[in-house]
Amino acid sequence: MQEYLGYNILWNEIVDSTQNLIARMAGSLPDKTVLAAHFQTAGRGQGDHSWTSADGENLTFSILLKFGEERPLLHKDEQLLTKATSLAVKDFLEHLGIEAKIKKPNDIYVKSNKICGMLIENGASGDELDWSILGIGINMNQRAFPEDLPNAVSATMLTGLKYPLKECLCFFLEDFDRRIEMIFSARETLEKEYEESLVSFSYS
């Protein structure tokens, strides 16, 4: 286990889905647990969609956040988690020299090509959220994608560089932590930046 900025990072070689595994373990895991995998046999996307990723080439991980008296978040404000996480991915990519935009609600595109998708699941008691699991897949080093993903792109394809995944996850968590804190300290700015980051046209 690696600790970084208060996050406990658990790396796995192979899992069915980081989202499924962290959900199964959530009761015994602390706030700010990050479960990452080099390969997922059944990666999940939005709805019934799967998430395909080459073995050891990309960042595929899920983050568990827990809420309560010290850091309450109302159920009606859960979309702020989507906005903060989307902006964190955008920030991370910009630090790599990649200009990205957000397609509602949380797909990340570089021009007409998708570089990241996410799946966010929440649990609530009454009006307040108890927890959130934020599953994120960022295409980093993959150089070719299946034919059924014609508009997928990776950071390597855009820059020609190869990226160390464990270090990149830590870099991402810096952006993520800053954006999540904005939910509690700078909500209006967060919402404004999200709206300004949206693509103004549709991709197929």
Tell me the per-residue pLDDT of 84-134, one tens digit each, with 9 for 90 and over.
999 999 999 999 999 999 999 999 999 999 999 999 999 999 999 999 999
Q: According to the model, what pLDDT value does residue 184 have?
A: 96
Please report the pLDDT score of residue 43 as a whole number. 54
Is the dihedral angle over the CA atoms 136, 166, 146, 108 positive or is it negative? positive
**CA-closest candidate to residue 116, choices 105, 129, 107, 128:** 107
Nearest to 155 by CA among 114, 115, 106, 118: 115
| DSSP secondary structure letter of residue 76 | G
Determine the 3-state secondary structure of 130 from DSSP.
strand
Contact status, residue 170 vs residue 163, Cβ threshold 8 Å: no
CA-based diameter of the chain, in Å? 49
pLDDT-above-70 percentage for the chain: 92
Angle between helix 165-185 and 187-196 (nearest 10): 120
pLDDT score of 41? 83
Quote the pLDDT of residue 132.
97
pLDDT attached to residue 54: 72
Residue 35 β-bridge partners: 10, 62
The reported pTM is: 0.92
pLDDT single digits (tens) 22-70: 999 999 999 999 999 998 886 554 444 445 567 789 999 999 999 998 8
> Which residues lie across from 136 on neighbouring strands?
61, 118
* Integer Cα distance of 77 and 112 in angstroms: 30
CB 33 within 8 A of CB 66: no
- Per-residue pLDDT, averaged over 169-185, amounts to 98
